[in-house]
Chain A
C-alpha cells in the first residue's frame, strides 16, 4: 500500500467510533463492554473476599453488611464471585472469536472468489456441520478431552468459525460481482493480491459486525456449557455455573441467581447494542434505520 493511505484509514476508525458513541445504542453498548473489561482486569484486586473462602456461618445469607449480594450454599461471597465470574468467559471467547473470524473469514472469501468443485464440496461439509445439533460437537469433545481452557478455546474457535465461512463467502460473492474486481482481473493481478487489496477491504466491515455478533453468541454458548456442567470446573467462579448451582436454592436465595444473571445479560446486551451501532456507523443497514 502507498504511504498516504494509512492516515485515511486511522481517521475512518476514529470517525466510526465517534459515530457509534453518538448513538444511544452505541453509547450504552460501549459503556457496558468497557465496564466489564475493566472489572475483569482488576477484579482480583478489588474483590472484597476470596472467591474460595467458605463461611459456614452464613450459608445462603441475605444481602447486607459485608456481603453485598449475600452468600451462596457454601457460604461464599456472591458479589466477589460475580465480579470474578466473567474472567474465564471473556478470556476464552476473547481469544476464540478473532480466531474463528479469521479462519472462517479467510476461507469464506477464498471460496467466494474461486468457486469450482472445492467450493461445492466444502460448502456441503459446512451445511452438514450446521445441520448437527448446535451444541453436540462441543459436548462430545469436552467429554473426551476435558473442559480446560486449552480445550475450550480451540474447540469454540473451530466450530464458531464454520458459519462464518458462509457469511464471508456471501459477502465476497457480492464484491466479486462488481466491476472493480473485473478491472483488477483484466489488469492481471494475482488472485491473492485481488483478495488482499480489492476484496478484503470491502468485506472487513461485514466481518467486523459479524464478529461482534459471533462474540455474543460464543459467550452464550460458553455460559450454556458451564450451566450444563460441561464448562468451567468448580470452584472457579463462572456466571453460568453460578446460576446452575444457585438455581436449586432459588426460592430461599434469589440474589444468588440474579447477580450472575444480570452480569452475564448486561455483557451480552452490551455487545449486541455495540454490534448494532457498528453496523449503522459503517452504513451496513441503510434504509433499515432502527431506533435502538
Chain B
C-alpha cells in the first residue's frame, strides 16, 4: 500500500508541474508581457528595452521558467505587474477570505447533504424524496448568478435583512465580511448540497438493495442498526470523491458568486487580474488553485483507500 500512496503522490506532483508548464507557456504565447502591462502607453523604444533587461525578460524561456517555478515553490510569486506589490501578500488575504467562505459552506453543507441524501434514499419515491430530489435538481441547474440575484432580491431588497451592496477591503478582519459572507455562503451551500445529496441518495439506494443489507434484515438486525452499521459506511465511501470535487471547487475561487456579492476572494482577484492583464497574479492564482485541486483529490483518494477494507488489502496483497 505504501508504494501505491507514493505513486498517487508522484502523479499529483506531475499534474501540478504540468499545470505550471501550461500556465507558463500560455503566458508566453500571449501578446505583450509584464513590461507592456507596467509601462502601458510608454511601452516602446528604450524604456521598454530597459524594463525588459531589468526584469530579466530577455533571458531564454527555460531560464525564466526555472526562476519563476523555483521562487513559486518557496511561496514567492514575484511582484504584481501594476502595483509593484508583493503578490504573495495580495493573494494571501484572498486565500484567507476564500477559505473562510468555503469553510462556512462546507461545515453546514456536508452534514446536511449527507443527512438529506440518506433520507431521500431510504424513503425513495416517497414525498420526502420527491421534495428533496426536485429541490436538488433546481439548485444544481439554475445558474449561480441567478440564485445569487434571487437571494439579493429577496433578502436584501424586499425583506431588507442584509445590505445589498457592501464593499469591504480584502485585508479587513474576517468578522467585517459578515454581510457579504452570509448570502454568498447560502448560495454555495445550496449548490454543493444538491450535488452531494444526489450522489449519497443513489449510493444509499444501491446499498440498501445489496445482498448484505438483505442478509442483515434476515439476521434480525433492527432497521436503524442496519442503516448505521451496514449501509451507511458502504454508501458514503463513493461520496468521498464527490465531496472532494466540491471542496476543490469551493477553494478554487467561485468567480461568479464572489463577483455578485462583491466578496474579496480569489475568484474576484482572478477576474480583476485578467481584466488588468496582470499576468503574474494570474499565474500565482492558477498555481494555488491547481495545487489545491490536486491536493484535495489526493486526500480523498487516500481516505478512500484507508476507509475501504477491500481496496486496502487488495493493494497490500498485490505489492
Q: Which of A125, A128, A258, A285 contacts B290 (CB 8 A)?
A: A128
Q: Which of A129, A244, A268 contacts B142 (CB 8 A)?
A: A268
Which chain B residue shows the least CB distance to A135?
B255
Bound-state Cα–Cα, A111 to B257, Å: 36
Bound-state Cα–Cα, A132 to B288, Å: 9
Bound-state Cα–Cα, A224 to B260, Å: 11
Tell me, yes or no, whether A133 is within 8 Å of chain B by CB. yes
User: B: which residues have CB within 8 A of A?
Assistant: 11, 14-16, 18-19, 22-23, 26, 30-31, 124-125, 129-130, 133-134, 137-138, 140-146, 149-150, 152-153, 157, 164, 201-202, 205-206, 209, 249, 252-253, 255-256, 259-260, 267, 270-271, 274-275, 277, 282, 285-286, 289-290, 293-294
Tell me, yes or no, whether A254 is within 8 Å of chain B by CB. yes
A228 touches B259 (CB 8 A): yes
Q: Mark A104-138, 1 if CB is under 8 A from B, else 0.
A: 00000000000000000000110111111111110
A291 touches B125 (CB 8 A): yes
Residue pairs across A and B with Cβ atoms less than 8 A apart, 21 shown, are A128-B15, A133-B289, A136-B286, A139-B270, A144-B30, A216-B141, A224-B255, A227-B256, A228-B255, A247-B152, A250-B149, A254-B157, A257-B149, A258-B153, A261-B146, A264-B143, A265-B146, A269-B138, A273-B137, A290-B124, A292-B137
Bound-state Cα–Cα, A129 to B157, Å: 40
Residue among B141, B205, B259 with max Cβ neighbours from chain A (10 Å): B141
Bound-state Cα–Cα, A271 to B137, Å: 11
Bound-state Cα–Cα, A224 to B134, Å: 23
Tell me, yes or no, whether A190 is within 8 Å of chain B by CB. no
Q: In chain A, residues 242-287, which have Cβ atoms closer than 8 Å to a Cβ of chain B?
A: 243-244, 247, 250-251, 254, 257-258, 261, 264-265, 268-269, 271-273, 276, 285, 287
Bound-state Cα–Cα, A258 to B146, Å: 9
Tell me, yes or no, whether A288 is within 8 Å of chain B by CB. yes
Q: Which of B140, B202, B277 contacts A288 (CB 8 A)?
A: B202
Tell me, yes or no, whether A13 is within 8 Å of chain B by CB. no
Question: Contacts A143-B275, A224-B145, A268-B143 given: A130-B137 contact, CB under 8 Å?
Answer: no
Query: What's the minimum C-beta distance from A253 to chain B, rounded to whole angstroms?
Result: 11
B282 touches A136 (CB 8 A): yes
Bound-state Cα–Cα, A259 to B206, Å: 40
Query: What's the minimum C-beta distance from A25 to chain B, rounded to whole angstroms?
Result: 9
**What residues on B are CB-neighbors of A291 within 8 Å?**
124-125, 129-130, 133
B149 touches A131 (CB 8 A): no
Q: Which of A131, A220, A264, A268 contacts B19 (CB 8 A)?
A: A131
A261 touches B202 (CB 8 A): no
**What residues on B are CB-neighbors of A243 within 8 Å?**
145-146, 149
Bound-state Cα–Cα, A268 to B23, Å: 32
Q: A257-B149, A287-B205, A291-B129 provided; 12 other pairs, C-beta below 8 A?
A: A124-B11, A130-B293, A133-B255, A133-B285, A220-B144, A227-B143, A240-B145, A250-B164, A273-B137, A289-B125, A290-B133, A290-B202
B143 touches A265 (CB 8 A): yes
Which chain B residue shows the least CB distance to A261?
B146
Tell me, yes or no, whether A97 is within 8 Å of chain B by CB. no
A143 touches B277 (CB 8 A): yes
Bound-state Cα–Cα, A291 to B205, Å: 13
B149 touches A261 (CB 8 A): yes
Q: A-B pairs with the 6 shortest C-beta distances?
A: A128-B18, A131-B290, A131-B293, A288-B202, A265-B142, A127-B15
Bound-state Cα–Cα, A139 to B279, Å: 12
A131 touches B145 (CB 8 A): no
Residue among B143, B157, B275 with max Cβ neighbours from chain A (10 Å): B143
